[in-house]
Amino acid sequence: MSKRKRDVAFLKPAEPAFIARMKEQAGYKEGPSVDTKREALAFDDEDSDDHDDEQPQVVVLNEGDLTAEEVSKAIQEKEEGPADLSQRVVFCKPEKAKKNSQEPTEVPQENSKEAKKSKAEGKPDKLKNKSKSEVSKKVKSKSVLSFNEDDEIEDS
């Protein structure tokens, strides 16, 4: 008895000719069948996130402005170029790395207002006289007072 239960199969009878003609005239397309679910689906590469219409729009107002092609070349050269080995290597998530790079640093610059005033008055540049440890203490104290998760990760 158990052998008979396993051998049960459904055979779909052939469709009559007049029904086939009516479907053809009406433009009827047959829907999915039981066998279609067993077929392997083709992987679509079109589902990627790099659609051209979703890219930022580049507007060139002046002749000296960067075009979209120049920006893409610059980004590609930066990624392919050699790494700066003089700096400390830090591994972070990309989102946090972008946030950290946008924060202003405590490094003195020659074109700052204080530097221009001191040069005009003839005073020695007090920013240059500060040691690296004093500048780093300011940066450390700034991160100690902050409650951001990004700063806590940098301290460790």
Q: Does residue 50 fall inside a structural domain?
A: no
Question: Using CA atoms, how far apart are residues 38 and 81, in angstroms rounded to an integer?
Answer: 48
In which domain, by residue range, is 139 found? Answer: 125-156
Within-domain flag for 140: yes
pLDDT in tens, 99-134: 445 555 544 455 556 556 655 665 554 445 556 666
Q: Residue 140 to residues 87, 88, 114, 134: CA-CA distances in angstroms? A: 18, 16, 22, 10
Residues of the chain with pLDDT under 50: 96-100, 106-108, 125-127
Task: Show the CA angle centred on residue 132, arms to residues 127 and 134, nearest 5°.
Answer: 75
Residue 93 included in any domain: no
Does residue 72 sit within a domain?
no
Rounded CA gap, 96 and 153, in Å?
A: 10
Would 146 be classed as within a structural domain? yes
Count of domains for the chain: 1
Answer yes or no: is 15 within a domain.
no
* Domain annotation covers residue 45: no
In a domain, 56, yes or no: no
